[in-house]
A and B are shown apart, each in its own frame.
Chain A
Amino acid sequence: MTVAALHEYLEQSARRYPQRCAAVEASSGRQITYGELDALSDQVRDHLRRIGVRPADRVGICLPKSIASLAVLFGILKVGAAYVPVDSLAPPARNAFIFNDCGVRAIFVEASRAETLRCELARLAAEPCLLPLDWSDGPSPLATYLARVEADGLAVDESARPGPDNLAYVLYTSGSTGQPKGVMLTHRNGSSYVDWCSDILAPDENDRFSSHAPFHFDLSILDIFVPLKHGATVFLIGEELGKNPTRMASVIAERRLTVWYSTPSVLTLLVEHGRLDARDDHALRFILFAGEVFPVKHLRRLKAVVPRARYLNLYGPTETNVCTYYEIPQTIAEDRSAPFPIGRACSHVKARVIDANGRDVPRGQEGELAISGAPVMLGYWNMPERTSAAFHVDSSGRWYRTGDVVIEGDGGVYTFRGRRDRMVKRRGYRIELGEIETALYRHPAISEVAAIARSEESGVSIKVFYASRDGHALSLIELKRFCAHNLPAYMAPDWFSHQQLLPKTSTDKIDYQHLMRME
């Protein structure tokens, strides 16, 4: 079953299973049926239309993960617009940059954050319509909001029918120049991936999916659309619960989740701190992970605790979403310490390994992984040059250059070797080290800064070297505080090291090779 527009998954399931539970807020236990979610998102659609949102517009989402934010997301799609989700806890200036960059017409925002966001937008001379949802009004802030702004709550209109190549969502990722960049994804980009997931997971209406990743993270595409396509139930795990391994382990067991999808870091947290091993009442069929390398030590422990599930390593940048996958074998050899491969190309993409000039690299040699096919993004929002630099075009098609260096082995199985540039992945988030440096250069006392990443057994850690104007080390508390207010939490460096001056190369650039060797 394929659809032209992503919201049709919800509409079709709502006709088929109006009374089944579509979504549950895992911390509060609040739930909503397919019929109710469809109707609520219809009201969002009609309200957006009334305030002037038109097909092909963009609408921002700055909300905690909730039934409300899920209904908002579908309402935006139903009006024919694209949703632009941000981390509601990220620095307001960064969120304002994103919303302004993307030219959103309206923003759904948590009421307590609306005023700060309005001020930050005003500094950029942006005045989108802010639609505040107030959780202090009760557990259904969206219904309360709609009741307040609407004369009657009856949905009368039809949903827009955007074409498969219309924009559906824009996901902002870390940008090397210091500002995030918007990855433009269409309905077809999303649905080709969702349909591939259906083939692999064979879900049905009795499945219960986790939704751990925030909506601004591309893992959420599977979490949202795959369960709703099949009449299954999605358990929304918000920010606070998502950091609490013991409570997450209870949700997995007590709610009988059947499909779990998160970064390896979260799974490691569950095994190490969640007392997952104390429970043997799991219903998990699949454990999916993506976003970073899973250290084999932790994967082995997880498999021992939940032996019956199938384990899939999913790989892909936001620009393509998942494009290769690898099923972890039933038993992991005792002496294995090398991470597992990223696997074979998914059936909805084509993959090849190329060199800097776009020529194919012989099997067994390192090269850059390039991807073409239905899930590949349109491009970066408002960045035509960055977009064309990201693609290699030849007679065989338009290939997205992932920047990931891989080796192709037997049977078309790819193994990840490293990056071509200064992007790193930590806890599943991609981070441009340049964005951390740009933020720290804004600190008045800092004169020079360089960020490097190190791979350790426990994962990737980020170390910042800096020099100060007066030659004295800054307080570590002050540095951490500055980062907390100027960078999203996931970008915060792990270590800071004060230097009188940073080492330079003969061409007077910061010598990163030297820094990598320093302890």
Chain B
Amino acid sequence: MNAIQIRTMAKDFILKEFLPGERPENLTDSTELITDGILDSLATLKLVAYLEKSCGIEIAPDELVPENLNSITQIANFVQSKQAST
């Protein structure tokens, strides 16, 4: 999966699950997901479970930190680095 595909997938999932009714253009690649309160801790766990399943990666408990998941761009970079290491 390339970065664009991962970004699209993560964005679609976040819009559908956590931002029902939001205009897609309001969620940008740099929108702060955790620090701006869009993903709470439970939502973060749901997103991680989704990424693991659909990208075929396993995310270690220690990797559940805002630095890896705070924006669509960070999520895409993180998922790609996981895919590259497996």
A330 to chain B, nearest CB (A): 30
Q: Is A68 an interface residue (CB 8 A)?
A: no
Q: Is A477 an interface residue (CB 8 A)?
A: yes
Q: Is A484 an interface residue (CB 8 A)?
A: yes
Contact string against A for B residues 53-78, beta-carbon threshold 8 Å, 1 for contact and 0 otherwise: 00000000110110000000000000
A240-B65, A475-B22 are contacts. A492–B42 as well, Cβ < 8 Å?
no
Docked CA distance A483–B44 (Å): 18
Residues of A within 8 A of B22 (CB): 475-477
Residues of A within 8 A of B40 (CB): 489, 492
Residues of B within 8 A of A269 (CB): 41-42, 45
Q: Which of A168-176, A242-250, A371-379 contacts B (4 or more CB under 8 A)?
A: A242-250
Whether B23 and A484, one on each chain, are in contact in the complex, defined by CB atoms closer than 8 angstroms, is no
Residues of A within 8 A of B65 (CB): 240
Q: Is A298 an interface residue (CB 8 A)?
A: no
Docked CA distance A96–B83 (Å): 44
Q: Is B9 an interface residue (CB 8 A)?
A: no
Interface centre among B23, B45, B65 (most CB of A within 10 A): B45
Whether A246 and B61, one on each chain, are in contact in the complex, defined by CB atoms closer than 8 angstroms, is yes
Q: Whose C-beta in chain A lies nearest to the C-beta of B37?
A: A484
Q: Whose C-beta in chain B lies nearest to the C-beta of A493?
A: B37
Q: B36 contacts which of A243, A244, A473, A481 (Cβ < 8 Å)?
A: A481
Q: Is B35 an interface residue (CB 8 A)?
A: yes
Report the tally of A-B residue pairs with Cβ distances under 8 A.
48
Q: Is A480 an interface residue (CB 8 A)?
A: yes
Q: B37 contacts which of A245, A250, A473, A480 (Cβ < 8 Å)?
A: A480
Whether A245 and B23, one on each chain, are in contact in the complex, defined by CB atoms closer than 8 angstroms, is no
Whether A480 and B64, one on each chain, are in contact in the complex, defined by CB atoms closer than 8 angstroms, is no
Q: Is B27 an interface residue (CB 8 A)?
A: yes
Contact string against B for A residues 403-426, beta-carbon threshold 8 Å, 1 for contact and 0 otherwise: 000000000000000000000000
A496 to chain B, nearest CB (A): 9
Interface centre among A250, A273, A476, A483 (most CB of B within 10 A): A476
Whether B62 and A477, one on each chain, are in contact in the complex, defined by CB atoms closer than 8 angstroms, is no
A362 to chain B, nearest CB (A): 42
Q: Whose C-beta in chain B lies nearest to the C-beta of A492?
A: B37
Q: Is B5 an interface residue (CB 8 A)?
A: no
Q: Is B47 an interface residue (CB 8 A)?
A: no
Whether A477 and B61, one on each chain, are in contact in the complex, defined by CB atoms closer than 8 angstroms, is no
Residues of B within 8 A of A492 (CB): 37, 40
Docked CA distance A245–B31 (Å): 26
Q: Is B3 an interface residue (CB 8 A)?
A: no
Docked CA distance A93–B38 (Å): 21
Q: B21 contacts which of A247, A273, A476, A478 (Cβ < 8 Å)?
A: A476
Whether A489 and B37, one on each chain, are in contact in the complex, defined by CB atoms closer than 8 angstroms, is yes
Whether A247 and B37, one on each chain, are in contact in the complex, defined by CB atoms closer than 8 angstroms, is no
Docked CA distance A250–B64 (Å): 15
B66 to chain A, nearest CB (A): 9
Whether B64 and A477, one on each chain, are in contact in the complex, defined by CB atoms closer than 8 angstroms, is no
Residues of B within 8 A of A489 (CB): 37, 40
Q: A477 contacts which of B19, B20, B41, B45 (Cβ < 8 Å)?
A: B19
B20 to chain A, nearest CB (A): 8
Docked CA distance A484–B62 (Å): 24
Docked CA distance A277–B40 (Å): 24
Whether A484 and B61, one on each chain, are in contact in the complex, defined by CB atoms closer than 8 angstroms, is no
Q: Is B26 an interface residue (CB 8 A)?
A: yes
Q: Whose C-beta in chain A lies nearest to the C-beta of B31?
A: A477
- Taking CB atoms and an 8 Å cut-off, the chain A residues in 464-508 that contact chain B are 473, 475-478, 480-481, 483-485, 489, 492
Whether A483 and B37, one on each chain, are in contact in the complex, defined by CB atoms closer than 8 angstroms, is yes
B52 to chain A, nearest CB (A): 12
Q: Whose C-beta in chain A lies nearest to the C-beta of B32?
A: A481
Whether A244 and B37, one on each chain, are in contact in the complex, defined by CB atoms closer than 8 angstroms, is no
B31 to chain A, nearest CB (A): 6
Docked CA distance A243–B23 (Å): 29
Whether B42 and A476, one on each chain, are in contact in the complex, defined by CB atoms closer than 8 angstroms, is no
Q: Whose C-beta in chain B lies nearest to the C-beta of A243?
A: B41
Whether B36 and A480, one on each chain, are in contact in the complex, defined by CB atoms closer than 8 angstroms, is yes
Residues of A within 8 A of B45 (CB): 245, 269, 273
- Taking CB atoms and an 8 Å cut-off, the chain A residues in 152-202 that contact chain B are none
Residues of B within 8 A of A243 (CB): 41, 44, 64
B33 to chain A, nearest CB (A): 9
Residues of B within 8 A of A484 (CB): 35-37
User: What would 15 more interface pairs be, CB under 8 Å, given A480-B37, A484-B35, A485-B36?
Assistant: A243-B41, A245-B45, A247-B61, A269-B45, A273-B45, A476-B26, A477-B27, A477-B31, A477-B36, A478-B26, A480-B38, A481-B38, A483-B37, A484-B36, A489-B37
10 A-B contact pairs sorted by A residue (CB < 8 Å): A245-B45, A247-B62, A475-B23, A475-B26, A476-B19, A476-B21, A476-B22, A477-B26, A477-B38, A481-B32
Per CB-CB distance, the 10 closest pairs between chain A and chain B, nearest first, are A484-B37, A243-B41, A246-B61, A247-B61, A481-B36, A476-B22, A480-B37, A475-B26, A476-B19, A477-B26
